[in-house]
Amino acid sequence: FLPHLIASLGEIEQTYIMVKPDGVQRGLVGEIISRFEKKGFKLTGLKLFQCPKDLAEEHYKDLKAKPFFPKLIDYITSGPVVCMAWEGVGVVASARKLIGSTDPLQAEPGTIRGDLAVQTGRNVVHGSDSPENGKREIALWFNENEINQWTPAQAPWLRE
């Protein structure tokens, strides 16, 4: 296990992935989780959660000045979301690629947004944009005891 980690290229990162309320309402939870699971990243946290307004505002605080901010907060708090923490080397950038562009009409086919959504205001999934934000967002959405450290049985079949 340890030599396997040391031999891996690069730092192990964490990213916060969230199925937004439209993804939950449209029955896309399994499909979206599956994309990250099949890629080979490690799930370390998972819950269905009704987001309170103050948490949504904190999560999206960098967008506070945007005209769409109130609509964004209404959207994220409009129903339960599925909160996930994923871990792996390169997981932050890779998850952003799997998710696709913010505007689903610009997102490439094969990406989650490219395959499953049509509008920026209903783009089904969130992913952290940097390793720093990955840590920040996981700390924001999860309690420490909700994050699980474990070694997947498939680990030696994912990395030499």
Catalogue the active-site residues: 126
The CB-of-1 to Mg ion minimum distance in angstroms stands at 33
The rounded distance, in Å, linking the Cα atoms of 36 and 106 is 21
What is the DSSP code (8-state) at residue 145? G
The CB-of-93 to Mg ion minimum distance in angstroms stands at 13
Q: Which stretch binds ligand GDP (CB under 6 A): 3-11, 25-33, 120-128, 144-152?
A: 120-128
Identify the CA nearest to 89 among candidates 158, 3, 157, 149.
158
Q: Which does 68 bind (CB under 5 to 8 A by kind): Mg ion, ligand GDP, none?
A: ligand GDP
Per-residue x/- track, 26-55, ligand GDP (CB under 6 A): ------------------------------
C-alpha dist (Å) from residue 53 to 11, 57, 138: 34, 6, 17
The rounded distance, in Å, linking the Cα atoms of 77 and 92 is 24
Q: Does residue 121 interact with ligand GDP by CB under 6 A?
A: yes
Q: Does residue 120 interact with ligand GDP by CB under 6 A?
A: yes
DSSP 70-94: HHHHHHHTSS-EEEEEEEEETHHHH
Q: Which does 72 bind (CB under 5 to 8 A by kind): ligand GDP, Mg ion, none?
A: ligand GDP
